[in-house]
Structure 1
Amino acid sequence: MEGRPLPDQFPLEPTPSLSVETVVSVRHWNDFLFSFTITRPPSFRFRSGEFVMIGLMGDNGRPLLRAYSMASPAYDEVLEFLSIKVPDGPLTSRLQKIKEGDHIYLGRKPTGTLVADALLPGRRLFLLGTGTGLAPWMSLIRDPDIYDRFEQIAVVHSVRGVSDLAYRDMLEARLADDPLVGEMAAERLTYIPTVTRETFHTNKRIEGLMLDGTLFQGSLGEPKNFDPVHDRVMLCGSMTMIKEVAAMLEGFGFTEGANSHPGEYVIERAFVG
């Protein structure tokens, strides 16, 4: 309609379910991936690993929202998110253009099952993710609580290209610069990146890494396979990976957990349906 304001011209106003926050920083990892931080309301509480609705104003003058996992730990003063760039995506086509000082919608009620409370106590924790499925792992491994629950933690990140390995330097350094968890991560955190469509020292999909034993390298110790008695697993990313790995875990004797009944592995059903 002639004279109709563009979406960016609609002022963002808080609602009972949404607050309006300010973009603090933006980092573009490559042409397809970016992360950003926003202000955190004093009343906003979440558990590391949870997700929340965020968004911008839609073409119809109403909020256009999508679910995003927090990449920041529960104690952080800002909220961090990791996102892909979709040229024709209703939200991401515009979200990728945000800059410092812009405003964004934030849901008031975070939730999710990719949290320690949804798992039974164990010795080793495997965080298996593809693409932006790394986000909740960045939240969890920067939270001291996870190191109180597990002796060893493995972050496995599968991507198509080397430049898709967001946070790679931080992970390879085992969070050395983190004042809260740096010392614990140095002893207990293992980072296993794998790149499936470019030359890299590890190039198998997560399922392949499970079968050939690569997943159990470094300080993870024995056994060189999944043990439902001592191992716990979280899955986030592509639906194909989640369904295939979940089926493998079920075959190994793992049971799916939830907030109401913890188990040996969890997925985020809000994302996979």
Structure 2
Amino acid sequence: MTDAVIASAAPTPPKPSPFHGVKVLWVKHWTDQLFSFAVERPEDFRFRSGEFVMIGLPGEDGGKPVMRAYSIASPAWAEEIEFFSIKVEDGPLTSRLQKIVAGDEVLMGKKPTGTLVLDALTGGERLWLIGTGTGLAPWLSVARDPETYSRFGQVVVCHTVRNVADLAYRDFFTHGIHEDPLIGDEAKAQLTYYPTVTRERFETPGRITDRIKSGDVFADLGLPIGFSPNTDRIMLCGSMHMIKETAELLETYGLKEGSNAEPGDYVLERAFVG
């Protein structure tokens, strides 16, 4: 038997999996609709603050894995990978994912990607991180990255939710981040947290888009009314409606959308918007 015949008869090696199997380190349930969890970070896993990755669970009864795109809530330097998720009772993934506990294993893609990164923005004076619901997740990453504070003199985290209880990470952005050993002092001096609530009484009520249009957000923060291409850079994440409406507003102010290939004045995650 020739070497060629032997080689052709050899079994084909299995294709490497596109996923890491990673252990769950902790789970925190904020409300009956929101939870966060963290997983161990594989040694070879590299990402830029603000990117997303596929997260999921093995298929039931031997079926294909159920995977969804999740923004990474940890900064690029973190030793664990954190995520912020909604709970959907009959959702193909979150109906099961919301039941995980520390010690369980979930699947995580090996190739993070995305446009909600500092590389996709040109230089500016003020960085606006505008999100709704779990669209806060990438801001948890970007706001803990030292490069954010070296590139921008002011960082504004805007988080719009329906109910006050949905303001997950509120304590973190008002107090906890100031204790961060890496960027705590910078955050205390440069970061402003601006939450809004749409369905309950709150000191800053309503949708963030409405507060931009009315000028309230600028007045509340003591800033000139409107966005300027000369000073403001914006990232958007959350509901499709908010992203599209805000992007249209930004264009009226003369801001241009950026990408990894061509940095601009504002960015959104088109993988989530469609």
TM-score, length-normalised on structure 1?
0.92
1:179 paired residue number: 181
1:194 paired residue number: 196
1:23 aligns with 2:24: yes
1:72 Cα deviation from its structure 2 partner: 0.5
Q: Alignment partner of 1:216: what SS?
A: helix
Q: Which of residues 84, 87, 97 in structure 2 aligns to 1:85?
A: 87
1:54 paired residue number: 55
Q: Alignment partner of 2:128: what SS?
A: strand
Identity among equivalent positions (%) equals: 59
1:169 paired residue number: 171
Equivalent-residue separation in structure 2 for 1:98 and 1:16 (angstroms): 22
**Which amino acid is the alignment partner of residue 28 of structure 2?**
R
Indicate if the aligned counterparts of 1:152 and 1:188 stay in contact, CA closer than 8 A. yes
**Which amino acid is the alignment partner of residue 198 of structure 1?**
E
Superposed counterparts of 1:216-255, under 5 Å: 216=218, 222-255=223-256
Q: Alignment partner of 1:175: what SS?
A: helix
Equivalent-residue separation in structure 1 for 2:219 and 2:167 (angstroms): 19
1:221 Cα deviation from its structure 2 partner: 5.1
Equivalent-residue separation in structure 1 for 2:197 and 2:222 (angstroms): 24
Equivalent-residue separation in structure 2 for 1:79 and 1:236 (angstroms): 19
Structure with max Cα Rg: 2
Q: Which of residues 134, 158, 161 in structure 1 aligns to 2:160?
A: 158
Equivalent-residue separation in structure 2 for 1:266 and 1:237 (angstroms): 13
1:10 paired residue number: none
Indicate if the aligned counterparts of 1:58 and 1:64 stay in contact, CA closer than 8 A. yes
Q: Deviations over 1:94-133 (max 9, x none)?
A: 0000000000001000000000000011000001100000
Q: Alignment partner of 2:178: what SS?
A: coil
Indicate if the aligned counterparts of 2:226 and 2:253 stay in contact, CA closer than 8 A. no
Q: CA RMSD in A?
A: 1.3
1:94 paired residue number: 96
Q: Alignment partner of 2:107: what SS?
A: strand
1:212 Cα deviation from its structure 2 partner: 2.8
Equivalent-residue separation in structure 2 for 1:119 and 1:217 (angstroms): 25
Equivalent-residue separation in structure 1 for 2:87 and 2:59 (angstroms): 17
1:71 Cα deviation from its structure 2 partner: 0.4
- Matched residue count: 259
Indicate if the aligned counterparts of 1:257 and 1:265 stay in contact, CA closer than 8 A. yes
1:256 aligns with 2:257: yes
Runs of 4+ in 1 over 6 A off after TM superposition: none
1:215 Cα deviation from its structure 2 partner: 2.5
Structure 1: 5+ residue runs without aligned partners?
Answer: 1-13
**Which amino acid is the alignment partner of residue 64 of structure 2?**
R
Equivalent-residue separation in structure 2 for 1:224 and 1:126 (angstroms): 14
